[in-house]
Each structure stands twice: as C-alpha cells, then as structure tokens.
Structure 1
C-alpha cells in the first residue's frame, strides 16, 4: 500500500512539474492575439484636453522656425546642417510679415531664414534689434503662404498659478507644445548688459534650446510672453524658464518696426545684482562698470576695480533713497531722455552729489 501511494505521488508530481514547465508555451499557444485586437471605445476627450488641442491648432500657424548662419552661402537651407550656427523660434507679429524673435537667436549672423508651419522656407532680414531686451524683429521676404498673426494678450494682469503653454522648436524639433503654470512674476534676468531685463515671467513649462523666441501663451491662446532663457546646470529644461512679458514686447516691437531701434533712457551703467549689495551690507546700487562715453563715465562715476573692489554706490536720486537697479531704471524712464537728475554717490564712506543727463543708452558701446 505504501509503495503504491509513493508511486502515485511521484506520478502526480511529475505531471505537475510538466504542467508548470509547459504552461507558458500552452498559454502562448491558446491565448495569443493572432488577429488585431478590438479597439475599446474611449469616449469623449476631457474638456481640458479639447481646449489644449484647439489652442495648438489655432496658434501653431503663427509660430515659425528661425535659422541663422554666420557666413552667407548659396542656400541657407542646404543639407550642410553644421553651417547653421543658430536656430530658434519666432512668432508672426502682423500681416506685413514681421516676425518677433530673440536677439540672441540672430545676433552675429549674416544670413537668416524662416520655415513656416506650411513647410515653406523663406529668407528674412533684420528690421531692428534691441539687445538689452533680447528682442529682434525680422521681415519675411517673398512668401507664398498667407500670414497668421498671433493673438496678443496682456502681461500686467497675470497671476502666479495661471496655466501657460509654450510652442517652439526645441533641439530643432518643429512645433513642439509644452505646458505648465506661471511660477513667478517680476523676475530679473541677469544678462551682463547695461540694461538687464526685469519684470520677466517665470514658468515651469518645459523650455529648451530652440524654444528661444517662441511664444508663451495663456489658456486662451494669447501671447503673454516671448520665451528667452532658462536656468539650468545642464543646459536642458529644469522647470525654470523665463519669458519677456508681452507688454514689453508690444512696446519694443512697435519701436523697432517704426524706427529700427528702441530709445532707452539711462546713464550708461552696469549694476551688481541686489544680492551682492546685501552680501556686502551696502544699501544702494553698486556700479560694476560704466559704458565708454556715457553720462555716468563723463560724470566721474566709476565701476569696481580689477580686483572686484567696489568703488561707487548710488544711494539717492534727487534726494530720495534708492535701493535697487529696478527703482533706478524706473526713475530714468519717468524722467525721460534729455532731462537731468542728481545722484548721491558714495565712495570710501564719502558722499558726493553728481548731476547727470539721461541719454539714449541703446546706442552706446557695451565694451
């Protein structure tokens, strides 16, 4: 009896082991989808998805791909991709074929071309550039496609938390849509220029190289900013992107189209970041350097020396305390080009008053 039971047990164990080994093969044989699977009905798209799809369809024809080459060649759009030194995005501004992009996209180049959403390539020329705002206006030449100017919104009434959408050409990938929110407002973008852009829109909508010059949109598909820069250790999107507010873009674009440049009231100084003044325990605007032949230079105002030692700090304007370059820039704009202001300048603990005339510093050399 015991031997028979043992034999039966061994047989069952062998059968179970065989079934365990064969199970994947049998399942593959019996349950494999040998014909196309039946599609499961999805139902309607969510309202938010439908809105985003409509936004992209409406706005994408207004977004272009900008190419620029340092040296002219027979064709900007040849297969010699290594000769295309700069690439970015742009927005169609009006029915005359003006395109807004970043100045750094086309700066230092001799040949510019644009690819429209239709796939058509057209050449373009620079109408005007405003390096201190990182904006430029291009004129498209002899296209066959109709223009689709982008809808313009406002940036003055934006609120942190609003939805944002960016369309551009990151890494050369045409017509890429990303989304996020307004992360912060009123940011200052360090650029090293005499006029560092202020009031910038910060967004976490992914912005990468190639998005520069493309639109930042609100949920209504209106332009609220022109994407300009990112903060990233790797050069890729880290969720901190900056856009030039559309209210500034509107003003600058109008001046560039009308006059070819943007008059910029100032005295020709480059100021340190506010955090540097705080670190040094100084209250005022630290002068890093002055531009050659500027009102500040002619008035004897000096920047930091070669060792980085601070020389001059502007502490008052017309007898009123000043704490930041943003306040000082606002005073320049309110006073206007050609008018004079009185600065209180501190050097080595000594204060002196200096009268300077506000000039158009957009034409001054940055050297």
Structure 2
C-alpha cells in the first residue's frame, strides 16, 4: 500500500468522527467530574444552619425555649389598613394605605382572634398572619372599647389554628415570672421575659373608662406587642398586653396587661352578641362631677360617696327596688335622689365602681343595695335586668 493510500485510510471522515466522539466523551467526563467535585466541596464548606442540640443550657432556659415553641403558634400578627378617597384631575380612586400593626392570639378553632380594640380601632381592613406565615383577611365580630377588647374572625382551616391555653389571674403574685409574645416594630414572633411587678393597677381605656385590676410587668412591651398574650411559667394566658407607661410610647420598664379573667368573661359575649351584656339597674345617674359639687357645698355629707339617682325607668330594677330619683316636693323644693353607696359587698365611689360591680353579675342576679336617703342609710334589694331604653 502506497503512503498516499495509507494517508487516505487514516484520515477518512469515518475515522475523524470516531476520534472526535472519543475526545468529546473524555471532555464531558472531565467536566462532570470537576462539577461534581465543586458541588461536593461547596456543600462541605457551607455552615450547618440547623440548631445544634445544646448540652449546656439550664433547666430554666430549656423550659423557656419549650414554652415559646408550644405557645408561639397561638400568636398572630395583625396588620391594619385604611381606605381613603384619592381625588385626581380625571378620576377619584380608592387608595388602601397601611395604618399599623399589632398582635393577637387564637381563641378557638372556629377562627376567632382576640386583640386590643385600639389596634383595629381606625382600620378599614384587617389581615391576620399566622405562625405558618399564611395571611387571612379578618372580619369584625365584636368590640368592647371600655375594656380595650376586640374579637376578629378568619376563615382558616381548623387544623391551622392552635387556640391559646387560658389560665386565671385571680391568684397572681408579684414576682412571678411572665413571658410576652408579640410582634414589636413588625418583628414576627418575639419573646420577652420578666416578672409581675405590680397588681391591681388601673389604666384608662379609649372611652375614658377605667380598666381595673390591670397587671403591671417589666417584660418588654413595645408598639406592636399590643393585643399579644402575657403568659405564666406554665404557658397559660394570664393577660393581654395592652399598654406601656412611657411618654415616648417606647418601652421604659413598665408595661400593662388586661387580666385574663376579664378577657375570659367578655370574649364569649362578644362572640355571641357583638357587645358585652352588662346587667343593669335601669336608671340614669347624676354626673360624678356634680355629685362632688353637692358634697363640697354641704348638700351631701362630706364622708358620703356613691352614684346619685337622677331618673328611674318605669318597671326597671331600680324602680322595683324603690329607688327614688331627684324630684320636687309639694313646695317646689328640690329633693336629692338616693345615693347608691354599695352593691352587695362592693363600695361605690363613682360610676366606674358601679359599672364594675354590675359587670361582676349576670342578668337575673339579686343584689343588695345600700343607699343614702335623707342622710340615712337604708338597704334595698332587686334583680338585675337587661338595659331598657327609656321611653
């Protein structure tokens, strides 16, 4: 075979194609090997973000961690927005703007959410974000502004809802450890811990009425914590975070929580009726300021206290008890009405005291009244009724 023939044999197209395929396979193999090595190396260099099992934590720390894990799924983040009419040169559009945020907690598997009234007071729309980051549009169920309470409802599946465990606030002690969970400054699922630093405090609601027996705590409560739960060391709800004592509205060492006994008493009423059902004596009283003026002008004994009856509703509990209203005698002289000084064992100093006393009862309960009439104390009794509109 001549050299020219050998050259044609080895340089034929078929031969060249076979060689190219072999080189291509080798190159691909090398590339796959290099890429695999790089991926494995990168994986090995990556830090492990899993929380390691710590062996140096105290029992108290472990318990706090466990309480947060158990309780945080019951806490929600509430966002509010306002819808305003924006007028333009050619059109008028409704614009939705964020208004604020707060916290709340899941009450039951029907989707009821409890929060502060002041959190949603001026909102046109409210959304609720659960611990699993799902967000739901909320509807209004009921309000009790005088208690800073509100109930919302979301249509989330029951399996996504973990109701909070409800405790009691009657036997709390100063010095008890407490935990607050909420969303301060929009930061989701934040835990702060402290103690009960005071009991029996009083704060003013948006209606101007006092909220009594409020819990004082040094657990950090900031804007966004409002409406969130205050828990005891067993993870039970003992209060609802509602306010901070600070002129700058930033935490300064004192926070307040509405006691859970009040929450537990009124939330079922808000769910059922939309408002709280306060038993009534069915009368109208004299303003507390005027009663104080009567005392200062010696028209009432200086040591007297209570709510004066201005008018009684016919057929009402006050009327049936025999309470006497302000009236004119036969000579045209003004006769002061009865001064209600006590309901059962609770002394009455003003209208707030009277409302608190009535709220501790239910419709149909019989109460004993101590009233001052003509500078003499007399005892009367009657059954509480639903409020009747004066005819």
1:51 pairs with 2:63: yes
**Is the Cα contact below 8 Å between 1:192 and 1:270 reproduced in 2?**
no
Match of residue 127 from structure 2? 113
Match of residue 78 from structure 2? 66
CA shift for structure 1 position 312: 10
TM-score, normalisation: structure 2: 0.63
- Count how many residue pairs are aligned between Structure 1 and Structure 2: 303
1:324 pairs with 2:336: no
Match of residue 260 from structure 1? 274
CA shift for structure 1 position 318: 7.2
1:175 pairs with 2:189: yes
Q: Distance in 1 between matches of 2:360 and 2:74?
A: 35
Match of residue 165 from structure 2? 151
How big is each residue's C-alpha offset from its partner over 1:132-159, in whole Å with a ceiling of 9 and x where there is no partner?
2111111112459711111111111211
Q: Distance in 2 between matches of 1:174 and 1:334?
A: 36
Residue 187 of structure 1: SS of its match in structure 2? strand
CA shift for structure 1 position 350: 8.3
Residues 350 and 102 of structure 1, relative CA distance in 2, 3 Å threshold: same
How big is each residue's C-alpha offset from its partner over 1:158-212, in whole Å with a ceiling of 9 and x where there is no partner?
1111100000111211111111111122222223637422121111111111111
Residues 55 and 318 of structure 1, relative CA distance in 2, 3 Å threshold: closer
How big is each residue's C-alpha offset from its partner over 1:301-354, in whole Å with a ceiling of 9 and x where there is no partner?
8xxxxxxxxx999562479993534653454246655789867579xx989999
Q: Distance in 2 between matches of 1:317 and 1:167?
A: 40
CA shift for structure 1 position 270: 9.9
1:163 pairs with 2:177: yes
**Is the Cα contact below 8 Å between 2:129 and 2:136 reproduced in 1?**
yes
**Is the Cα contact below 8 Å between 1:70 and 1:108 reproduced in 2?**
yes
Pick aligned residue for 2:221 from 186, 199, 207: 207
Q: Distance in 1 between matches of 2:64 and 2:236?
A: 13
Task: Map 1:185-264; keep pairs closer than 5 Å.
Answer: 185-191=199-205, 193=207, 195-264=209-278
Q: Distance in 1 between matches of 2:286 and 2:119?
A: 23
How big is each residue's C-alpha offset from its partner over 1:13-48, in whole Å with a ceiling of 9 and x where there is no partner?
xxxxxxxxxxxxxxxxxxxxxxxxxxxx98511111
Residue 203 of structure 2: SS of its match in structure 1? coil
Q: Distance in 1 between matches of 2:209 and 2:224?
A: 24
**Is the Cα contact below 8 Å between 2:106 and 2:161 reproduced in 1?**
yes
TM-score, normalisation: structure 1: 0.67
Q: What root-mean-square deviation, in Å, do the aligned CA atoms of Structure 1 and Structure 2 show?
A: 4.5
Residue 211 of structure 2: SS of its match in structure 1? coil
Q: Distance in 1 between matches of 2:346 and 2:58?
A: 54
Pick aligned residue for 2:305 from 284, 287, 290: 284
CA shift for structure 1 position 53: 0.9
How big is each residue's C-alpha offset from its partner over 1:51-104, in whole Å with a ceiling of 9 and x where there is no partner?
11111111111110111223289xxxxxxx992213110001111111111111
Pick aligned residue for 2:150 from 133, 136, 146: 136
**Is the Cα contact below 8 Å between 1:67 and 1:88 reproduced in 2?**
yes
CA shift for structure 1 position 241: 1.4
Match of residue 94 from structure 1? 108
**Is the Cα contact below 8 Å between 2:307 and 2:354 reproduced in 1?**
no
**Is the Cα contact below 8 Å between 1:118 and 1:145 reproduced in 2?**
no
